[in-house]
């Protein structure tokens, strides 16, 4: 009996299917992903700039007097 959830089993099964399609060759799989990426440019998200959610190092919160 396995203690893995059904979701984990499904993810692993699909990962093995993807790996098998490329003959378990990581380079071939990466090549396949690059091909899909080139064909589906409208579905890609580009990040133009990084926005930090951390406050500036020198900015201190001032307490009202």
15-20-22 Cα angle (round to 5): 105
Looking at residue 57, what is its pLDDT?
A: 63
- 3-class SS of residue 5: coil
Looking at residue 52, what is its pLDDT?
A: 72
62: which 2 tokens?
Answer: 């001032």
Looking at residue 55, what is its pLDDT?
A: 67
Q: Is the pLDDT of residue 2 over 70?
A: no
pLDDT in tens, 11-65: 999 989 988 999 999 999 999 888 988 888 887 777 666 667 776 665 555 555 5
Q: What is the pTM of this model?
A: 0.48
């Amino acid at each position: 009996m396995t203690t893995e959830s059904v979701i984990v089993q499904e993810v692993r099964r699909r990962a093995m299917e993807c790996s098998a399609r490329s003959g378990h060759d990581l380079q071939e799989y990466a090549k396949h992903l690059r091909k899909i990426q080139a064909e589906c440019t409208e579905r890609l998200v580009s990040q133009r700039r990084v926005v930090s959610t951390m406050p500036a190092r020198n900015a201190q919160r001032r307490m009202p007097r």
